[in-house]
C-alpha cells in the first residue's frame, strides 16, 4: 500500500525522527519516499545524512509533495501551521496527527477539504521500536486509511485502533506513561546513591531491573499486582517499602498526576477549538 506513496513528516523532532528511523530500518518505504521538514538547517542536514531522506524548511512544499502528511510539531503551533498550509492540502492525501489533545475535527476544519484525518498517540519507546500507538479515524477516514496509519506506526512498535473519545486519557496513560516510569527509576538511582553505593553500579542495577521487570510484565500472564504480591513476603523488605508507600497514599497521588496529564490534553484541545492556544507547553 505504501510502495509509491510519499510520506511527509512535518516537524521532524524526537517523535518525527523516531518514525523516520523506524520506517527506514523496517524497509517499509524507500528513504527517497520520505520528506521531512523543520526549521533548523543543521538538524535537516543531519536527517538527510543519516537517513538519506528528502529535507525541506518549507512546510508548504512538504504538504504539496506528500501523499501522507504526518503532523509532528507541538500542539501549540499546529493551528498556525495548518493555516499556512491549508491551500496546499489536496484530494487523495491522508493527514496523520500525533499532536496531544488536538482533535480530528479541528484538523479537518483547518485543512478545509474532505481529506481523511487520522489521530495517533505514540510514545517515546518509538525510539527503540517498542512504542504503543493507539489511533483513531476522523469523519472522512476509512478502513484503508486505518491500515495505512497502522502500517506506518508498526514501524516503531505496536498499534491499536481506538475511539477518539479515549485519546485524551490514552495520552495520559501510554503517551506520558514512559515518563512516570523514568521518574520512578530516577528515584531508585537517587536512593541507591544515598545508601552509599557507587553511581555506576546503581545505574547498571536499575537499568537491568527496569528491563527485567518490563520483560516479566510482558511475558507472564500475571498482573503487576500479582507480580508484586509474589515478591512481598510478610514482614520482609518489600513489605516494609510497600507499607510506607501505602501509608503515604502513594498510589492516590500517582493517579491524580495521571488525571492531571489527561486534563492537560483536554485543555490543549479546547484551547485550540477556542483559538487560544500557545500559552502553555505540553
Ligand atoms: N514526546 C512524546 O513522548 C510524545 C508522545 C506522543 C505524542 N507526542 C506529540 O508529538 C509531537 C512532537 O513532539 P516531540 O516530542 O517530537 O517534539 P520535538 O522534539 O520538539 O519536535 C517538534 C519539532 O517541530 C519542529 N518545528 C518547530 N516549529 C516548526 C515549524 N514552524 N515548521 C516545521 N517544524 C517545526 C522543531 O524543530 P525546529 O525547531 O528545527 O523547527 C522540532 O524538532 C507533539 O505534538 C506531541 O504532542 C509526543
* Tens digit of each residue's pLDDT (9 = 90 or more) over 179-224: 999 999 999 999 999 999 999 999 999 999 999 999 999 999 999 9
Q: What does the CA dihedral 68, 72, 76, 82 come to, rounded to 10 degrees?
A: -20
In this structure, which residue's CA is closest to atom 24 in ligand 1?
11
Atom of ligand 1 nearest to the CA of 282: 47
Distance (Å) from CA 32 to ligand 1 centroid:
22
User: Cα dihedral sign for 57, 62, 63, 69?
Assistant: negative
Convert 165-190 to b/e letters by CB count within 10 Å (16 or more is b): eebbbbbbbbbbbbeeeeeeeeebbe
> What is the whole-number distance in angstroms between the Cα of residue 72 and the centre of ligand 1?
5
Could you tell me which CATH class the domain 177-257 is placed in? mainly alpha
Task: Using DSSP bridges, classify how beta strands 117-120 and 131-137 pair: parallel, antiparallel or unpaired.
Answer: antiparallel
Burial class (CB in 10 A: 0-12, 13-18, 19+), 116: buried
pLDDT confidence of 270, banded at 50, 70, 90?
confident
Superfamily of domain 7-171: NAD(P)-binding Rossmann-like Domain (3.40.50.720)
Pocket probe mutation, ligand 1, options 69, 73, 99, 174, max atoms within 8 Å of Cβ = 73
Looking from the CA of residue 122, the nearest atom of ligand 1 is 6
How many Å lie between the centroid of ligand 1 and the Cα of residue 232? 42
How would residue 281 be classed by pLDDT, with cut points 50, 70 and 90?
very low
Give the model's pLDDT for residue 275: 66
Is 278 a residue whose pLDDT tops 50?
no
- Between 93 and 271, the more confident residue is 93
- pLDDT tens track for 62-92: 999 999 999 999 999 999 999 999 999 999 8
| Domain map (residue ranges) of the chain | 7-171, 177-257
Residues having CB closer than 6 A to ligand 1 are 10-11, 13-16, 37-40, 43, 59, 72-75, 77, 81, 98-100, 121-124, 175, 282
pLDDT above 90 as % of the chain: 85
Residues facing 34 on adjacent strands:
7
Reference 83, options 228, 275, 280; nearest CA is: 275
Q: Which atom of ligand 1 is nearest to the CA of 101?
A: 47
What does the pLDDT read at residue 184? 98
Q: Inform me whether the pLDDT recorded for 279 exceeds 50.
A: no
Amino acid at each position: 500500500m505504501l510502495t509509491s506513496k510519499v510520506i511527509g513528516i512535518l516537524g521532524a523532532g524526537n517523535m518525527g525522527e523516531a518514525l523516520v528511523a523506524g520506517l527506514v530500518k523496517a524497509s517499509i518505504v524507500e528513504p527517497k519516499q520520505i520528506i521531512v521538514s523543520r526549521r533548523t538547517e543543521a538538524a535537516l542536514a543531519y536527517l538527510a545524512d543519516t537517513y538519506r531522506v528528502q529535507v525541506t524548511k518549507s512546510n508548504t512544499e512538504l504538504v504539496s509533495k506528500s501523499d501522507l502528511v504526518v503532523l509532528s510539531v507541538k500542539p501549540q503551533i499546529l493551528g498556525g501551521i495548518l493555516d499556512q498550509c491549508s491551500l496546499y492540502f489536496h484530494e487523495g492525501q491522508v493527514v496523520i496527527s500525533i499532536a496531544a489533545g488536538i482533535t480530528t475535527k479541528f484538523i479537518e476544519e483547518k485543512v478545509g477539504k474532505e481529506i481523511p484525518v487520522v489521530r495517533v498517540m505514540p510514545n517515546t519507546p518509538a525510539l527503540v521500536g517498542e512504542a504503543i500507538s493507539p489511533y483513531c479515524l476522523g469523519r472522512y477516514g476509512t478502513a484503508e486509511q486505518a491500515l495505512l496509519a497502522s502500517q506506518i506506526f508498526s514501524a516503531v512498535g505496536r498499534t491499536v485502533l481506538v475511539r477518539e473519545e479515549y485519546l485524551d486519557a490514552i495520552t495520559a496513560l501510554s503517551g506520558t506513561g514512559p515518563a512516570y516510569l523514568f521518574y520512578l527509576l530516577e528515584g531508585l538511582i537517587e536512593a541507591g546513591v544515598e545508601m552509599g553505593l557507587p553511581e555506576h553500579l546503581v545505574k547498571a542495577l536499575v537499568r537491568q531491573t527496569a528491563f527485567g521487570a518490563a520483560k516479566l510484565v510482558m511475558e507472564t500472564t500475571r498482573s503487576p499486582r500479582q507480580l508484586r504480591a509474589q515478591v512481598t513476603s510478610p514482614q520482609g523488605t518489600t513489605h516494609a517499602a510497600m507499607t510506607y508507600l501505602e501509608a503515604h497514599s502513594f498510589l492516590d497521588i500517582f493517579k491524580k498526576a495521571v488525571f492531571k496529564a489527561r486534563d492537560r490534553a483536554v485543555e490543549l484541545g479546547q484551547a485550540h477549538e477556542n483559538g487560544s492556544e500557545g500559552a502553555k507547553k505540553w
